[in-house]
Amino acid sequence: MNCRIAYIVIFSLLAIYGCGKKQGVDPLRRARVDGLNKDAFINRYRDPERCIDYSQQALNYIHDSLPGYADGELRALNNMAFAYFLTSDYPAANQMLDRVEKKIASVETRSAASPMENGDIEQVISNLLRARLLQRNCQIADSYRLLYDIGRSRILERNDDNLLYNYAQTEYYITLLTLNFHYRNGKAQDVMSTIREVERRRAELKVDYAQDMALNYALAYGLQSAGESLKALDYCDRNFEILERLSNMRVTGDTVNAFCLYNYANTLQMTATIRKSMPGPVSPDSVLALYDEARRCFFDYGDPYQMLGGVTSTARYALLVGDTLFAHDVIREWQALRGTWTPFAAPKMELGYFDLLIRSNIAKTPAENRRWYEHRYEIQDYITRNEEEDFALQNSLDMAQRRSRLMTIFAIALGGLLVALAVLAGLLWRNTLILRREKRQLEKAKRRDVERIANVETCLSVMRHDVSPFIGYLRNPNLSTELRDEVLSQLLRTFDNIKNWTSLSIPSGLVFSASSFVLQEVFDDVSRMVISPKKGVALEFEPTEAIVLGDRLLVTIMLRNLVNNALQHTGAGSVKVEGRVWEEENGALVSCRQNFVEIIVKDTGEGMSEEQRESLFRADRPDGDHGFGLILCRYIVKKHDDNTRRGCRIWVESTLGKGTEMHVLLSGR
């Protein structure tokens, strides 16, 4: 992922923790808390232990120096809860969530001494994590009740522009998909309707790397459960693409590697599950290799829940394809490590594990096998009771919805007249919207006409300014043939620039076609197009590996004008063209592999005065030495900036008598 997207993510996180105006809270101290919370959030997947440490620092600072900052405290508690969830420390996670509820209740019962603007959405985020904890404990009815209440509350729809709400919306869909495709016997149409809703709203959700991959994983699992294997594989491929981009970023330390390792293992395991269920011939060895690689990655990451899942999936498939010895090795490796952890509540995962133990015939004694059967029965009974509660809850909610529909029909029957009036009002409103839309279209067309007229006026003005000197030369009967040919060549070049200008600036003309292209190819094209340099003037193109995001044709036109202009004003010496790659950091350009591409055309010609530099790109400048081409160049750069929104620009550096450097900054890939 390129540097620009990384900056977007960082600033997005800053917006999450700094949203809203916090009255009564010192802004500098708040900024310190927000910074710690931001670091904690970024590290929630990369390094949960570091996330917990940053969150605890934020809580300590709030306690010591900023007791009125309720929003910062809630964010820190929710960060800690999520980190404990990822490390399978469920008691600690529940403790943090309980503190969130107590904090919200205590602030709401007091006066405005401790303002809290994000209490509602932080409560939703807390409840979403609690729903996940309930799912892992197979308390699916309670989990669904929480999700149902969140959906009915419509809190997530109150502020679509607040990134904290967008984060919660994404977590809501991830949690809902996880419940339906993994923890409950949900109806296939319920799973698919949720998936379709997520796919429809995907573009609206502002997510970071972690949420993006978690949502792709949830969609892949849901689609695989519904039998749409090819689409499921497509979402797995998206995760692999994200991981590949992350691996190319210049980031030091092991935390990013751990973060990538977790998602890489998840996606490998999901890919193996999809391929195993796809019709047609499948290589058992390749599927088993995927399962085993995912298991090893989970062991390296260290989350007990994911480790058990990796062991169960790998050994179960090994038994399925007849590789009993390998299955036994995997199970024994887990048994050797399992005693080092405190038992955790994950009944569904444990049920699969005891099923695996019984099927593998790995028991050393009949008593051990009997004990496994007893554990399996206890877990199965617990899960069954929870599934029955969930079934009863679904029936209850379905009945409530049917009653609601009947009441709605009855109300519609009694209020027919009101409905008719509402329809009439709707028609009137629709007509009003149509009239407004037509008005906006007319205003837009008017603005286009005004722009077209302005461009034509500019074109005519500059044409008159640049063509007049050439006409004066041509009217001179004593003009030599050589000079006449040179004047005609310059005149044709001016008309060519005017043609390009009109194609670019008139709305019905040339369309900007964005693509990624190698700058060296443009250098090669321009070197073949430009007029041969004067005797004693060397034209050099420095090799470059830069890749530009823009319109190749327009960049070629622009560079050709800049090179021709430099050659025209260089009597002796050289004209050099080079491409550099930069990134922007704190308002300054620093060297980087990709972000911005700078094109430099440097000559050893006559140079310019300060007055000439200031009027260089103006159509009404007092001298016409640089011709119409530079105005066209400026317009091409503006076209790139309008379409890429990256701050593309053109400028000149020159000293009178020492030469000139033309600089163009474009977007890199």
pLDDT tens-place string over residues 95-148: 999 999 999 888 876 554 556 788 889 999 999 999 999 888 888 888 888 988
CA distance linking residue 328 with residue 333, whole number of Å: 9
Q: What is the pLDDT of residue 534?
A: 67
- Choice among 75-89, 486-500, 570-584 with the minimum mean pLDDT: 486-500
State the pLDDT confidence band at 506, using cuts at 50, 70 and 90. Answer: low
Higher pLDDT, 62 or 478: 62
Q: How confident is the model at residue 412, as a pLDDT?
A: 77
d(CA 235, CA 271): 10
Question: What pLDDT band is residue 74 in, cutting at 50, 70 and 90?
Answer: very high
pLDDT band at 591 (very low <50, low <70, confident <90, very high): low
Cβ contacts of residue 635 below 8 Å, gap of 6+? 501, 504, 505
Check residue 1 and give its pLDDT: 41
Average pLDDT of the segment spanning 184-200: 74
Does residue 542 contact residue 522 with C-beta atoms inside 8 Å? no
pLDDT at residue 188 in the model: 57
pLDDT at residue 656, rounded to an integer: 87
pTM beyond 0.75: no
- Please give the pLDDT value at position 252: 44
The torsion angles phi and psi of 594, rounded to 5 degrees, stand at: -160, 140
Q: Over range 515-527, report the average pLDDT.
A: 91
* pLDDT over 60 (residue 536): yes
Q: Measuring CA to CA, which residue among 287, 15, 64 is closest to residue 166?
A: 15
Q: Output 291 or 114, whichever has higher pLDDT.
A: 291
The percent of residues above 90 in pLDDT, for the chain, comes to: 23
**654, pLDDT greater than 60:** yes
466 pLDDT tier (thresholds 50, 70, 90) = low
Place of tokens 């015939």: 361
Pick the more confident residue, 226 or 85: 85
In the prediction, which pLDDT does 532 show? 57
Q: What is the model's pLDDT at position 212?
A: 86
Distance CA(97)–CA(126), nearest Å, equals 6
Q: What DSSP designation does 253 have? A: S
Of 666 and 87, more confident? 666
From residue 50, alpha-carbon distances to 36, 81, 104, 171 in Å are 11, 13, 26, 22
Mean residue pLDDT across the chain: 80
Tell whether the model's pLDDT for residue 451 goes beyond 60.
no
Residue 428 confidence (pLDDT) above 80:
yes
Closest CA to 578 of 617, 537, 527: 527
* pLDDT for 250 beyond 50: no
pLDDT surpasses 50 at 2: no
- pLDDT above 70 coverage of the chain, percent: 79
Q: Which residue has the tokens 């991981």?
A: 243
Of 2-11, 367-376, 495-504, which range is least confident?
2-11
Asked if pLDDT for residue 7 goes beyond 50, the answer is: no
Q: Give the model's confidence band at 491: pLDDT under 50 very low, under 70 low, under 90 confident, else very high.
A: confident
Mean pLDDT in residue range 193-217: 82
Average pLDDT over residues 261-271: 89
* Closest-CA residue to 144 (of 107, 178, 167): 178
Confidence class of residue 443 from pLDDT cuts 50, 70 and 90?
A: confident
616-624, Cβ contacts within 8 angstroms, sequence gap of 24 or more: 616/652, 617/650, 619/458, 619/461, 619/462, 619/465, 620/461, 620/465, 624/465, 624/466, 624/469
Q: Which of 12-16, 480-484, 546-550 has the lowest mean pLDDT?
A: 12-16
Highest mean pLDDT pick, 17-31, 103-117, 320-334, 586-600 = 320-334
Q: What is the average per-residue pLDDT within 561-588?
A: 82
CA distance 316 to 414: 61
Place 157 in a pLDDT band, splitting at 50, 70 and 90. Answer: confident
Residue that has been written with the tokens 């009993």 in this structure: 324
Per-residue pLDDT at 211: 83
Checking if the pLDDT of 663 tops 90, the result is yes
CA distance 610 to 379: 83
571 near 605, Cβ under 8 Å? yes
Q: Taking Cα atoms as reference points, which of 136, 64, 125 lies closest to residue 100?
A: 125
Q: Looking at the predicted structure, is the pLDDT value of residue 69 above 60?
A: yes
Average pLDDT on 304-319 reads 90
Specify the higher pLDDT residue, 345 or 276: 276
CB of 333 within 8 A of CB of 368?
A: no
**pLDDT tens-place string over residues 362-418:** 888 889 889 888 888 888 888 888 877 777 777 777 777 677 777 777 777 777 778
Residue type, 529: M
pLDDT value at 499 more than 50? yes
Higher pLDDT, 271 or 421: 271
Here the tokens at position 290 are 């995927």
Q: Quick check: 305 and 347 in contact, CB under 8 A?
A: no
- Token pair, residue 564, equals 């021709």
Predicted local confidence at residue 463, as pLDDT: 62
Average pLDDT over residues 8-33: 58
Residue 339: strand, helix, or coil: coil
Where do we find the tokens 């109806």? 187
Q: Give me the pLDDT at residue 136, please.
A: 84
Whether the pLDDT of residue 627 is over 80: the answer is no
Residues 545-567: what's their mean pLDDT? 89
Residue 23: predicted pLDDT: 46
**Are the C-beta atoms of residues 268 and 236 closer than 8 Å to each other?**
no
Q: What is the pLDDT, as a whole number, of residue 461?
A: 55
Average pLDDT over residues 305-333: 90
Residue type present at position 471: I
| Separation of alpha carbons 308 and 305, rounded Å | 5
| Average pLDDT rounded to a whole number, residues 455-461 | 58
Please state whether 199 falls in left (phi above 0), alpha (psi between -120 and 50) or beta. Answer: alpha
Q: Which of 150, 234, 206 is nearest to 16 (CA)?
A: 206
Q: What is the DSSP letter of 305?
A: H
